[in-house]
């Protein structure tokens, strides 16, 4: 049970709903996430009302989104993803390695090695803060860098894709809502998420439901989806939770650090886009899906963007998961090796 008093967060879902509704009315891509995110940030930055995160809200949003993402996997899709494993590996590796641009920018402007490294790695915020704590990083800057990177990607990428690159092809098969299967998937996904969390594994409330949903969808060749509004509920809860990480003090503190983070994120995104173009030219796979799969954002956010724009959700998800695994397993050993080397 959260010890956060009700009076600090009761307005958060309402402000998020209003922002999501307004964004949907103007046709903004990923409206219920981006709209709720911006609405919460604006209220926290422009008024004294410091909205707090809904207890368990972001986890609940990830739970819903994880089930929805997993339902995109079918036996045919899995075969296609596995047939492009080498490409997925290369794309994830490029995204991970390109983060050295951000590390270099931080070092050039006075950050210590640990802070520069772990604030620039495209991994989950919680995981990078934990690794930074073990290696002497300034944790406030690591958390700020990670949050700002996700914010920049979520705000920019869906809009760029929709207005400059267009939507993908419509789904090749219709999906239906099967309440019997959903009644099984949701509690089972929550159980696996809880166990994953108890084992202290990364991103449990997304990975647990996603894994359950994908395995069952592939095993029984399901062609079902969430009911209308299901994905929007997940977007709203995730966006409202993300927005609570930002306030006026956040943007006033160390503006040069914020600027370097944004420049590093933009450069990383540009490198990913160029590499995606090269891979698409070589393989004739959809450029939009490859580019989205290589963006340094969160798995839930990028997979939702793929779903909304009718791109290949499994391919994007596979590339995002592979990139996260690279960062989680290799970041600390690489940093410790680098930290043993004398400064140039």
Query: Quick one: pLDDT at residue 343?
Result: 66
Residue 326 structure tokens: 């690279």
Query: Quick one: pLDDT at residue 1?
Result: 46
- HEC string for the chain: CCCCCHHHHCHHHHHHHHHHHHHHHCCCCCHHHHHHHHHHHHHHHHCCCCCCCCCCHHHHHHHHHHHHHHCCCCHHHHHHHHHCHHHHHHHHHHHHHCCHHHHHHHHHCCCCHHHHHHHHCCCCHHHHHHHHHHCCCCHHHHHHHHHHHHHHHHHHHHHHHHHHHCCCCCCCCCCECCHHHHHHHHHHHHHHHHHHHHCCCCCHHHHHHHHHHHHHHHHCCCCECCCCCHHHHHHHHHHHHHHCCCCHHHHHCCHHHHHHHHHHHHHHHHHHHHHHHHHHHHHCCCHHHHHHHHCCCCHHHHHHHHHHCCCCHHHHHHHHHHHHHHHHHHHHHHHHHHHCCCCC
Indicate the domain borders of the chain: 54-237+254-339
Query: Quick one: pLDDT at residue 70?
Result: 94
Query: Quick one: pLDDT at residue 200?
Result: 84
Mean pLDDT by 10 residues, the chain (344 residues): 77 96 90 94 93 93 95 90 90 90 89 93 85 90 90 89 68 74 97 93 90 95 92 93 89 84 93 93 90 90 89 92 89 91 70
Residue 117 structure tokens: 């490294």
């Amino acid at each position: 049970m959260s010890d956060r008093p009700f009076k600090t967060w009761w307005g958060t879902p309402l402000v998020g709903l209003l922002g999501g509704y307004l964004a949907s009315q103007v046709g903004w891509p990923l409206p219920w996430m981006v709209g709720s995110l911006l609405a919460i940030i604006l209220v926290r930055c422009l008024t004294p009302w410091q909205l707090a995160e809904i207890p368990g809200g972001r986890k609940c949003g990830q739970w819903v989104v994880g089930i929805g993402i997993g339902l995109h996997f079918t036996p045919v899709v899995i075969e296609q993803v596995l047939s492009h494993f080498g490409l997925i590996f290369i794309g994830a590796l490029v995204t991970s390695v390109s983060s050295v641009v951000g590390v270099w920018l931080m070092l050039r402007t006075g950050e210590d090695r640990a802070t520069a490294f772990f604030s620039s790695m495209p991994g989950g915020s919680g995981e990078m803060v934990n690794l930074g704590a073990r290696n002497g990083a300034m944790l406030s800057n690591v958390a700020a860098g990670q949050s700002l990177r996700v914010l920049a990607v979520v705000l920019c990428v869906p809009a760029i894709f929709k207005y400059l690159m267009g939507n993908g092809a419509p789904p090749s098969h219709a999906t239906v809502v099967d309440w019997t299967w959903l009644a099984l998937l949701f509690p089972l996904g929550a159980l696996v998420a809880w166990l994953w969390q108890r084992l202290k594994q990364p991103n449990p409330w997304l990975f647990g439901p996603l894994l359950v949903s994908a395995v069952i969808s592939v095993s029984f060749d399901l062609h079902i989806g969430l009911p209308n509004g299901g994905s929007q509920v997940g977007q709203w809860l995730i966006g409202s939770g993300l927005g609570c990480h930002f306030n006026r003090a956040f943007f006033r503190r160390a503006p040069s650090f914020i600027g370097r983070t944004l420049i590093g994120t933009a450069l990383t995104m540009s490198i990913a886009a160029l590499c995606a173009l090269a891979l698409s030219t070589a393989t004739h796979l959809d450029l939009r899906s490859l580019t989205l799969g290589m963006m340094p954002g969160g798995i839930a956010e990028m997979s939702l963007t793929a779903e909304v724009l009718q791109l290949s959700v499994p391919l994007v998800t596979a590339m995002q998961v592979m990139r996260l695994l690279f960062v989680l397993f290799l970041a600390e050993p690489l940093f410790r090796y680098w930290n043993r080397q004398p400064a140039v």
